[in-house]
């Protein structure tokens, strides 16, 4: 049986091909190896009750995750997976590779992730090419859930958020300086914490302050991460992630203004990614 996973920093989506042709879909916490260690990853997977009855029958695991950008990080995830899937071949790649398979298939194009974090790369039809982008939530992640969360929290704490919106923000989150500092500087997943304010933007997306914030964030993402590629206008740019999906109107407007050809926009690419992997493995079997 083949198991496919698409993992962000906040959530991991899994899909298993069962012998009867059906699919088993489930979710776990995000498994970004920059924020969780091998022991924690293994524990999270072992706590996924849906997969436990099938673990010994899984023969192939294809894991695509944020933070899996170096051999040691990929090895960390692979080692954790092998503790449960003892009979399986395990492949670990970045989430951008998974996004490329889900959106481009075998065609050339740009792939951008706009979820908890943000990143972009070019897919040449076979490989995702290395870039200078994807430098993380402290230095980068423009236009991501983390970036917008920072803007919301700092504007609120500085008293720079419009009064009507600030009142709603205060009612919903009951924040103060000490709470924010504890979650950002003292707890394990500050990126996920900052991104957790994205639903507030969705609830008030028609407010001029939020609308302007979204457009500024997407503009910064495009100008910093897409426009530097000299041939960006020659190819479609696909977007993957909840921020791109739920704020597609603002993203589309900014793309049109900045000359970016918007392609597919997927909230979670697990279905398309699963289909691609299953079809690819079938083709390998036919030509083997």
The 10s digit of each residue's pLDDT in 249-288 is 999 999 999 999 999 999 989 999 999 999 888 766 554 4
Average pLDDT, the chain: 90
Considering the segment(s) 106-266 as one domain, its CATH architecture is: 2-Layer Sandwich (3.30)
Flag whether the pTM goes above 0.85. Answer: no
List C-alpha distances in Å: 268 to 21, 44, 275: 22, 20, 13
Low-confidence ranges of the chain (pLDDT < 70): 133-137, 140, 283-288
CA distance 40 to 199: 27
pLDDT for the residue 288: 46
Q: Does domain 2-101+269-287 have CATH number 3.40.50.880?
A: no
Q: Where in the chain is the domain with CATH 3.30.420.40?
A: 2-101+269-287, 106-266
- Given a contact cutoff of 8 angstroms between Cβ atoms, the answer to whether 269 and 96 are in contact is no
List C-alpha distances in Å: 196 to 114, 201, 211, 284: 14, 10, 18, 41
pLDDT for the residue 61: 95
- Given a contact cutoff of 8 angstroms between Cβ atoms, the answer to whether 262 and 247 are in contact is no
pLDDT for the residue 284: 61
What is the number of residues in the chain? 288
């Amino acid at each position: 049986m083949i198991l496919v996973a698409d993992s962000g920093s906040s959530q991991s989506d899994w899909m298993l091909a069962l012998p009867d042709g059906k699919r088993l879909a489930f979710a776990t916490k995000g498994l970004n190896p920059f924020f969780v260690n091998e022991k924690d990853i293994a524990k999270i997977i072992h706590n996924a009750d849906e997969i436990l009855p099938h673990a010994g029958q899984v023969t192939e695991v294809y894991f695509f995750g944020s933070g899996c950008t170096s051999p040691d990080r990929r090895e960390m995830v692979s080692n954790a997976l092998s503790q449960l899937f003892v009979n399986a071949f395990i492949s670990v790649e970045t989430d951008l590779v998974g996004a490329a398979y889900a959106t481009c298939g075998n065609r050339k194009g740009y792939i951008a992730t706009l979820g908890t974090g943000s990143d972009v790369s070019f897919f040449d039809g076979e490989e995702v090419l290395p870039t200078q982008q994807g430098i993380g939530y402290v230095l980068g992640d423009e236009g991501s859930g983390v970036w917008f969360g920072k803007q919301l929290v700092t504007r609120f704490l500085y008293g720079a958020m419009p009064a009507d919106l600030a009142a709603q923000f205060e009612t919903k989150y009951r924040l103060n300086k000490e709470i924010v500092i504890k979650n950002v500087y003292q707890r394990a997943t500050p990126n996920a914490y900052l991104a957790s304010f994205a639903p507030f933007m969705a609830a008030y997306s028609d407010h001029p302050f939020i609308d302007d914030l979204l457009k500024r964030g997407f503009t910064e993402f495009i100008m910093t991460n897409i426009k530097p590629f000299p041939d960006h206008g020659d190819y479609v740019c696909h977007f993957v992630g909840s921020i791109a999906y739920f704020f597609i109107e603002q993203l589309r407007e900014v793309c049109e203004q900045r000359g970016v050809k918007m392609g597919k926009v997927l909230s979670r690419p697990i279905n398309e990614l699963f289909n691609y992997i299953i079809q690819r493995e079938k083709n390998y079997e036919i030509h083997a």
